């Protein structure tokens, strides 16, 4: 198991803004394709590079779909249909992600596997452990979401234009829990700043890649 | 807002112009202007009920339609709701005094495990605007809270809200408990929240899924009228 990113993020041909808006095209090499959320690109590419899984290819849908879960299922369906003929196997690196079971149903229909849990917070923390915590008043960030906080939280909620709305959105939350995939002091400071801006207590929880590591390994072994 | 609009003196507008301006101010989320408009109309002898329905609810209905049609987004709706809340705060005690028509009573709250109350608050406000009495249980409600409240308050309607796909199944726990206790048919059960849909509402045994606050109001009115008709017929 590799709990933390072992390759410097800058080494990957990924740009957060591009991952947010456009996703990532597949390299076209390999026989197993992972269709993932753009928010997982760096982590999956690191797992792949660390283990030398060259037969594994990755394509990502725009991470901003996180804010529009009603669009995820159709986007995944379209991606599976588009790439199916070019690979022996396709796996979907999404959890339920707010689709209300529709993605699970679609994946079952298409005969492709997906990740377990309600969302990436759950599988980074560990699906079982996350459920046991029962943290009703926690607002979560991952490495990606901490880096892209403005694009995913601050601006879409209009807080850049109307900061007075903050407590209408976050008044019932108590803590911002930063689920850290990497040990990065600058990113931790950024996550702490996000908590301050939202008026929440801050907690950092080092998760590494959690259940994502095992799922990718399982898919790579096919 | 342009300079020209900044120069508008609300008290110099006639009633029709003022109501139209209040629609614009609600749309722009201008709380102080709405409060001023409400006070002017009260001074002119408007009943609190007319101000509520014709100026505030009328304006919020436009906001609701534009939200539904993708012209406005959540931040703008929240600002408008905040402005309406300012007007409602002035009118609420007066409405009680003047005996405005009562449509029915609704107990509402977000389900256990869910603290997201923006939708629930919008529904509460619009239901109040439509003449319903609201008993707001707030957030994170276990089944006992709902059941105790609907019995205690002799409510007509139970409203449940959830934002998370992990919490929305809890609505079925509440409805199943109502069935077990033999009280399900004594209440109208309305459910709402971003991840829900009509199919889910039917599957858990709710009377209706309400896509937004405006739909909730219309659905509640329809079901209450139907209930009254059934009682008259019976």
CATH (domain of B111): 3.40.50.280
Residue A216 lies inside a defined structural domain of this protein: yes
Is there a single domain that holds both residue A168 and residue A215? no
Q: Is the pLDDT of residue A4 over 60?
A: no
Whether B204 and A136 have beta carbons less than 8 Å apart is answered as no
Which pLDDT band, with edges at 50, 70 and 90, does A13 fall under? low
Average confidence (pLDDT) over A50-59: 97
Predicted confidence at residue B234, as pLDDT, reads 58
Is there a single domain that holds both residue A19 and residue A94? yes
Domain that holds residue B60: 10-98
Q: Which residues contact B86 (CB under 8 A, 6 or more apart)?
A: B31, B32, B34, B35
Is there a single domain that holds both residue B94 and residue B113? no
Residue B2 lies inside a defined structural domain of this protein: no
Predicted confidence at residue A85, as pLDDT, reads 97
Q: Is A161 on the interface with B (CB under 8 A)?
A: yes
Residue B131 lies inside a defined structural domain of this protein: yes
Q: Is the pLDDT of residue B2 over 90?
A: no
DSSP lists the bridge partners of residue A56 as A32
Which pLDDT band, with edges at 50, 70 and 90, does A2 fall under? very low
CA neighbor of B54 nearest in space, from B107, B152, B129, B149: B129
Least confident range of A53-57, A198-202, B93-97: B93-97
Cα→Cα distances B220→B141, B199, B232, Å: 21, 19, 18
Q: Which of B73, B166, B167 to mutate to test the interface with A (most CBs of A within 10 A)?
A: B166
Which pLDDT band, with edges at 50, 70 and 90, does B97 fall under? confident
Q: Tell me the C-alpha distance between B32 and B39, whole Å.
A: 11
Q: Which residues does chain A have within 8 Å of residue B117's beta carbon, measured at their own beta carbons?
A: 172
Q: Is the pLDDT of residue A9 over 60?
A: no
Predicted confidence at residue B232, as pLDDT, reads 72
Which pLDDT band, with edges at 50, 70 and 90, does B99 fall under? confident
- The tally of domains found in chain A comes to 2
Q: Is the pLDDT of residue A173 over 70?
A: yes
| B98, B127, B148 - which closes a domain | B98
Q: Tell me the C-alpha distance between B150 and B108, whole Å.
A: 9
Residue range A177-213, pLDDT digits in tens = 999 999 999 999 999 999 999 999 999 999 999 999 9
Q: Is B74 on the interface with A (CB under 8 A)?
A: yes
The percent of residues in chain A predicted with pLDDT above 70, rounded, is 94
Is there a single domain that holds both residue A14 and residue A88? yes
CA neighbor of B162 nearest in space, from B127, B188, B191, B189: B191
Predicted confidence at residue B102, as pLDDT, reads 83
Residue A165: Cβ within 10 Å count: 20
Average confidence (pLDDT) over A6-15: 53
Encoded tokens for B213: 């606050």
Q: Which of A168, A173, A175 to mutate to test the interface with B (most CBs of B within 10 A)?
A: A168
Predicted confidence at residue B100, as pLDDT, reads 76
* Per-position b or e across B93-122, b if 16+ CB within 10 A of its CB: ebbeeeebeebbbbbbbbbbbbbbbbbbbb
Is there a single domain that holds both residue A93 and residue A164? no
Residue B64 lies inside a defined structural domain of this protein: yes
Predicted confidence at residue B229, as pLDDT, reads 80
Whether B109 and B120 have beta carbons less than 8 Å apart is answered as yes
Is there a single domain that holds both residue A48 and residue A136? no
Kindly tell me the sign of the dihedral angle through the C-alpha atoms of B2, B6, B11, B12.
negative
Which pLDDT band, with edges at 50, 70 and 90, does A8 fall under? very low
Least confident range of A152-161, A195-204, B68-77: B68-77
Q: Is the pLDDT of residue A106 over 50?
A: yes
**CATH code of B16's domain:** 1.10.1240.10
Which pLDDT band, with edges at 50, 70 and 90, does B132 fall under? very high
Q: Is the pLDDT of residue B205 over 80?
A: yes
Domain that holds residue A44: 9-121+210-220
Is there a single domain that holds both residue A154 and residue A171? yes
Q: Is A162 on the interface with B (CB under 8 A)?
A: yes
Is there a single domain that holds both residue B82 and residue B167? no
**Pick from A101, A159, A162: CB nearest B165:** A101
**Chain B residue at shortest CA distance from A97:** B165
Q: Tell me the C-alpha distance between A90 and A184, whole Å.
A: 32
**CATH code of A74's domain:** 3.40.50
Q: Is A10 on the interface with B (CB under 8 A)?
A: no
Whether B125 and B106 have beta carbons less than 8 Å apart is answered as no
Average confidence (pLDDT) over B18-34: 97
Is there a single domain that holds both residue A86 and residue A108? yes
Is there a single domain that holds both residue A52 and residue A79? yes
8 Å CB contact of A162 and B75 = yes
Distance of CA B12 to the CA centre of its chain: 31
Q: Is the pLDDT of residue A1 over 80?
A: no
Residue B85 lies inside a defined structural domain of this protein: yes
DSSP B156: S
CA neighbor of B80 nearest in space, from B103, B48, B58: B58
> Which of residues 9 through 28 in chain B touch A, CB cutoff 8 A?
none
Residue A4 lies inside a defined structural domain of this protein: no
Is there a single domain that holds both residue A115 and residue A143? no
Average confidence (pLDDT) over B176-203: 96
Predicted confidence at residue B227, as pLDDT, reads 84
Q: Which residues contact B90 (CB under 8 A, 6 or more apart)?
A: B35, B38, B39, B42
Is there a single domain that holds both residue A138 and residue A110? no
Predicted confidence at residue A222, as pLDDT, reads 83
Residue B118 lies inside a defined structural domain of this protein: yes
**In the predicted model, what is the mean pLDDT of chain B?**
93
Q: Is B168 on the interface with A (CB under 8 A)?
A: yes
> Which of residues 179 through 218 in chain A touch B, CB cutoff 8 A?
none
Predicted confidence at residue B5, as pLDDT, reads 53
**Chain A residue at shortest CA distance from B111:** A136
- The tally of domains found in chain B comes to 2
**Pick from B29, B73, B195: CB nearest A100:** B195
Predicted confidence at residue B52, as pLDDT, reads 94
Q: Which residues contact A1 (CB under 8 A, 6 or more apart)?
A: A208, A213, A214
Residue B133 lies inside a defined structural domain of this protein: yes
Is there a single domain that holds both residue B67 and residue B112? no
**Pick from B73, B115, B165: CB nearest A136:** B115
């Amino acid at each position: 198991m590799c709990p933390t990113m072992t390759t410097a993020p800058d080494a990957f041909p990924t740009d957060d803004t591009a991952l947010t808006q456009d996703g990532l095209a597949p390299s076209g090499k390999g026989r197993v394709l992972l269709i993932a959320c753009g928010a997982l690109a760096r982590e999956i590419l690191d797992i792949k590079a660390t283990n030398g899984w060259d037969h594994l290819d990755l394509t990502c849908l725009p991470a901003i779909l996180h804010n529009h879960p009603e669009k995820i299922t159709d986007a995944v369906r379209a991606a599976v249909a588009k790439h199916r003929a070019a690979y022996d196997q396709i796996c979907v690196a999404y959890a339920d992600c707010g689709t209300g079971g529709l993605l699970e149903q679609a994946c079952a229909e298409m005969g492709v596997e997906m990740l377990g849990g309600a969302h990436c917070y759950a599988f980074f923390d560990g699906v079982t452990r996350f459920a046991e915590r029962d943290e009703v008043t926690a607002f979560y960030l991952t490495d990606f979401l901490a880096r892209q906080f403005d694009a995913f939280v601050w601006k879409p909620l209009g807080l850049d234009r109307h900061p007075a709305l903050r407590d209408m959105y976050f008044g019932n939350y108590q803590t911002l829990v930063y689920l850290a995939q990497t040990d990065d002091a600058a990113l931790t400071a950024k996550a702490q700043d996000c908590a301050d801006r939202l008026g929440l207590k801050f907690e950092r929880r080092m998760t590494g890649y959690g259940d994502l590591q095992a799922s990718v390994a399982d898919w790579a072994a096919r | 807002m342009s300079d020209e609009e900044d120069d508008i003196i609300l008290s110099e507008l006639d009633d029709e112009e003022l109501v139209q301006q209040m629609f614009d101010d609600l749309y722009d989320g201008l709380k102080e202007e709405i409060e001023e408009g409400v006070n002017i109309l009260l001074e002119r002898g408007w009943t609190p009920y007319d101000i509520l329905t014709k100026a505030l609810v009328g304006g919020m209905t436009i906001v609701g339609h534009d939200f539904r049609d993708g012209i406005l987004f959540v931040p703008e709706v929240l600002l408008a709701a905040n402005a309406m809340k300012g007007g409602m705060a002035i009118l609420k005690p007066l409405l009680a005094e003047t005996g405005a028509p009562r449509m029915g009573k609704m107990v509402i709250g977000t389900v256990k495990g869910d603290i997201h109350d923006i939708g629930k608050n919008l529904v509460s406000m619009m239901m109040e605007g439509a003449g319903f009495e609201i008993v707001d249980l707030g957030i994170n409600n276990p089944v006992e809270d709902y059941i105790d409240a609907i019995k205690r308050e002799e409510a007509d309607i139970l409203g449940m809200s959830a934002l998370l796909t992990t919490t929305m199944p809890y609505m079925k726990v509440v409805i199943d408990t109502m069935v077990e206790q033999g009280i399900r048919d004594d209440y109208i059960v309305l459910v709402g929240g971003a991840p829900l849909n009509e199919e889910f509402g039917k599957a858990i045994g709710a009377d209706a899924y309400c896509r937004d606050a405006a739909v909730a109001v219309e659905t509640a009115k329809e079901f209450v009228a139907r209930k009254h008709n059934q009682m008259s017929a019976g």
